[in-house]
Amino acid sequence: MGIFSKTCEYAIRSVFFIAHRTENGSRVGIKEIAAGISSPEHFLAKILQDLSKKGIVKSVKGPHGGFYMDESALQRPLADVVEAIDGNGLFTGCGLGLVSCSEHDPCPLHSEFKVIRESIHQMLIKTTIKDFNGDLSLANTSLKKDDFLKSIADKNY
Amino acid sequence: MGIFSKTCEYAIRSVFFIAHRTENGSRVGIKEIAAGISSPEHFLAKILQDLSKKGIVKSVKGPHGGFYMDESALQRPLADVVEAIDGNGLFTGCGLGLVSCSEHDPCPLHSEFKVIRESIHQMLIKTTIKDFNGDLSLANTSLKKDDFLKSIADKNY
DNA sequence: AAAATAAAAGACAAAAAAGTCTTTTATTGT
DNA sequence: ACAATAAAAGACTTTTTTGTCTTTTATTTT
């Protein structure tokens, strides 16, 4: 298991994809997004419905409809996406899952985790979705799950 | 969801508990451990079987049996416990779950995550299980899930 | 208005994680 | 040798996460 849930990974990847793909004011359909980020189409649809309800992505139905992001959404921090899907347990919870853990009654790892939780939170707060559009345009970053030949070559190098 | 799986949280808490409780060479039974860290007894038993197979805890059956830790186990880093249960996905995987993500073909968050993954790994490597015995003796740290009165008082302060 | 399109919504299914209960095996004390 | 004890092992259930499939609703084009 990684840091985020699978659902959250799809959410982040799809948001990057939509942001990049609709910079010019166009829209992109669920099929293209799912293919572009290697995610199951209908599962992703659910995720985008959530993100849509929370205003992180916009959508329009019907012909030439699809998903897009407006300027204000582009400027939102990545933390908003993570919080919309995984909640804030990653930033606020105790590393050992203790409800009673607090500054006054700390678990053994309390201070160690505080540093890490805060660095994760800060990173996600200070990076906006828009920040990555440049990277993606340069095409030296990828959002697809695996391009085996490429991947194998990279790992061996 | 926190950083670790629930299973891993129980594992860490139980290891701290056993280490502290058997400093003097005695043994501690599963019932007492489960009560001490607020975990389901039989579920914890499975976890301890795993940890036992990997040499992180020792056990003896029969009367006056139970779990304990020897000196070499006490000196092992916390990373060993985490890796035994959750694997190394937390330290090595891509933050966005991309198989193809690598130094050469990085995902958008690659460098940001590298910093975080490494800080988590370093923290878990440099802290040994033994390190926390002192804290626990001082009784200003807790391994129990919730002591409601205490917890409520703490949060409001 | 009708047909076509595409997201929204809802009902399931499969897999993984978390938790429970029972039986077996090893050890110890009598 | 026998009874008692406690971990090991196995079978099972529940819950959560992840994934699939179908129907409905809204929008656009003709």
- Confidence (pLDDT) at A87: 95
Helix, strand, coil fractions of chain A, as percent rounded to 5: 55, 5, 40
Q: Residue B71 contacts by C-beta under 8 Å, 6 or more apart in sequence?
A: none
Contact yes or no for B108 and A141 at CB 8 A:
yes
How many CA atoms lie less than 13 Å away from A105 in the CB half-sphere? 20
Distance separating alpha carbons of residues B97 and A8, to the nearest angstrom: 10
* Closest residue on chain A to B143 (Cα): A107
Q: How many residues does chain B have?
A: 157
pLDDT of B156 above 50: no
Residues 62-121 of B with CB under 7 A from strand D: 62-67
Q: Using one digit for the tens of pLDDT, what is the confidence trace for B31-83? A: 999 999 999 999 999 999 999 999 999 999 999 999 999 999 999 999 999 99
Task: Give the one of A87, A90, A107 whose C-beta lies nearest to B3's C-beta.
Answer: A90
Q: Using one digit for the tens of pLDDT, what is the confidence trace for A79-132? A: 999 999 999 999 998 999 888 888 888 888 899 999 999 999 999 999 999 998
pTM of this structure: 0.90
Q: Using one digit for the tens of pLDDT, what is the confidence trace for A19-35? A: 999 998 999 999 999 99
Positions of chain C reached by protein Cβ under 7 A: 4-10, 17-22, 25-29
Q: How many CB pairs under 8 A join A and B?
A: 163
In this structure, what are the phi and psi dihedrals at residue B33, rounded to the nearest 5 degrees? Answer: -65, -50
Of the pLDDT bands very low, low, confident and very high (cuts 50, 70, 90), residue B137 is: low
